[in-house]
């Protein structure tokens, strides 16, 4: 099999391939946040800030996407650039990967597709902003992220569930699925734009080394699920939980009126949330994405150091 090829349909970028071979720390990143989650040119700024934070920690960023019929782990700059163009790439969850590869176009991976690809490439640490979850309502939409987190080993740094979902229902579903939630320096579940929700966490770590040790234990125990390392947004940028919930409910009402469902719901709600908060949610989102990437880099370095010393 050719260098950099994990399987016929999974390819490692050149820099990532060298890093995996030499056991250099790598952090995988979803491209849906670039292709659908953020408007242009903020998505370009996001790429620079997240990649810079990971490299600053001593690790290598690996953007994941479907390109030309392959799942690529570690896009080059030239491959990543088209994903910043509005409407250029399809949103691809793990379930969509076969069809996306057959189409042969551009597929921006969500959390579920990204952690799936990371695991197959032998990369243990990933980062995102907020995970999907269980939406409010009598017939709630449930993100595909949750099931994939329950069956894919690794560690994902996030700021808890996105503020457009129900944090309690999401935490309960994750518990049911056997996914471990680790608060990073906090005892309550972070809630994306809000620093915390009302959900108490059973487990907490306070350093990247502690998080890396938990990951190493999970792998040794073969738990086969993702550890969610929940990193709260910076105090200076955190929004009031009541204000965020009110804005989210107004956004949900608008989605209901316009008949927005399925894969289009999350990007629609995030756009509405930005409008409802006068752009403050966008600024906060960029900041927490950068912070989560930096923490993921720190954890990846600590994990690689532990693996070498062990």
The 10s digit of each residue's pLDDT in 122-131 is: 999 999 999 9
User: Average pLDDT, stretch 10-16?
Assistant: 96
b/e per residue, 35-69, with b = 16+ CB within 10 A? bbbbeeebbeebbebbbebbeebebbbbbbbbbee
Whether residue 41 has a cis bond before it, omega within 30° of 0? yes
Q: Is the pLDDT at 22 greater than 70, yes or no? A: yes
3-state secondary structure of 69: coil
5-309 maps to CATH 3.40.1790.10: yes
Helix axes of 208-221 and 280-309: crossing angle, nearest 10 degrees: 60
pLDDT digits (tens, 9 = 90+) for 196-254: 999 999 999 999 999 999 999 999 999 999 999 999 999 999 988 888 888 878 888 88
pLDDT at 3: 54
4 alpha carbon, distance to own chain's centre: 24
Report the catalytic residues: 30, 162
Taking the C-alpha atoms of residue 44 and residue 73, their distance in angstroms, rounded to an integer, is 19
Helix (H, G, I), strand (E, B) or coil at 97: helix
Cα 246 to chain centroid, rounded: 24
CA atoms of 171 and 182, how far apart (whole Å): 12
Window from 81-85, 128-132, 187-191, 247-251 with minimum mean pLDDT: 247-251
Q: What are phi and psi of 267, to 5 degrees?
A: -60, -35
pTM more than 0.85: yes
Helix (H) or strand (E) holding 61: strand 60-67
| pLDDT for residue 208 | 98
Q: What SS3 class is residue 106?
A: strand
Indicate the DSSP class of residue 95.
G
What is the residue extent of each domain of the chain? 5-309
Helix axes 42-56, 280-309, angle to 10 degrees: 30
Mean pLDDT within 180-200: 96
Q: How confident is the model at residue 280 (pLDDT cuts 50, 70, 90)?
A: confident
Q: Which residues contact 78 (CB under 8 A, 6 or more apart)?
A: none
Sign of CA dihedral 27, 145, 36, 182: negative
Q: How far apart are the first and last CA of the chain?
A: 30
Mean pLDDT of 40-62: 97
Instruction: Please determine, for residue 110, whether its predicted confidence score (pLDDT) is greater than 50.
Output: yes
Q: Please report the pLDDT score of residue 27 as a whole number.
A: 98
**Residue carrying structure tokens 């999970």:** 218
Q: Is the pLDDT of residue 1 over 50?
A: no
Q: Which helix (H) or strand (E) holds 246?
A: helix 241-258
Bridge-based pairing state of the strands 26-29 and 125-127: parallel
């Amino acid at each position: 099999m050719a260098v950099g090829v994990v399987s016929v349909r999974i390819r490692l970028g050149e820099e990532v391939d060298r890093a995996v071979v030499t056991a250099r720390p790598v952090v995988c990143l979803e491209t849906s946040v670039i292709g659908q989650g953020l408007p242009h040119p903020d998505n370009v700024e996001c790429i620079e800030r997240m990649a810079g934070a990971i490299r600053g920690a001593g690790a290598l960023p690996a953007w994941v996407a479907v390109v030309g019929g392959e799942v690529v782990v570690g896009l080059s700059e030239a491959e990543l650039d088209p994903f910043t163009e509005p409407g250029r790439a399809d949103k691809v969850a793990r379930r969509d990967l076969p069809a996306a590869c057959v189409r042969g176009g551009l597929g921006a991976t969500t959390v579920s597709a990204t952690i799936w690809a990371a695991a197959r490439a032998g990369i243990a640490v990933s980062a995102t902003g907020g995970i999907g979850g269980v939406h409010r309502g009598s017939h709630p939409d449930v993100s595909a992220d949750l099931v994939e987190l329950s069956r894919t080993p690794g560690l994902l740094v996030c700021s808890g569930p996105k503020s457009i979902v129900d944090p309690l229902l999401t935490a309960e579903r994750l518990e049911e699925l056997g996914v471990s939630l680790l608060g990073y320096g906090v005892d309550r579940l972070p809630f994306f734009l809000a620093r915390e929700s009302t959900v108490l966490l059973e487990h907490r770590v306070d350093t990247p080394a502690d998080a890396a040790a938990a990951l190493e234990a999970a792998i040794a125990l073969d738990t086969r699920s993702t550890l969610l390392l929940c990193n709260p947004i910076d105090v200076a940028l955190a929004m009031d939980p009541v204000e965020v919930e009110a804005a989210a409910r107004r956004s949900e009402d608008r989605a209901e009126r316009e008949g927005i469902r399925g894969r289009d719901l999350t990007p629609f709600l995030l756009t509405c949330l930005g409008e409802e908060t006068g752009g403050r949610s966008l600024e906060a989102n960029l900041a927490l994405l950068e912070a989560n990437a930096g923490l993921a880099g720190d954890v990846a370095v600590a994990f690689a150091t532990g693996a070498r010393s062990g």
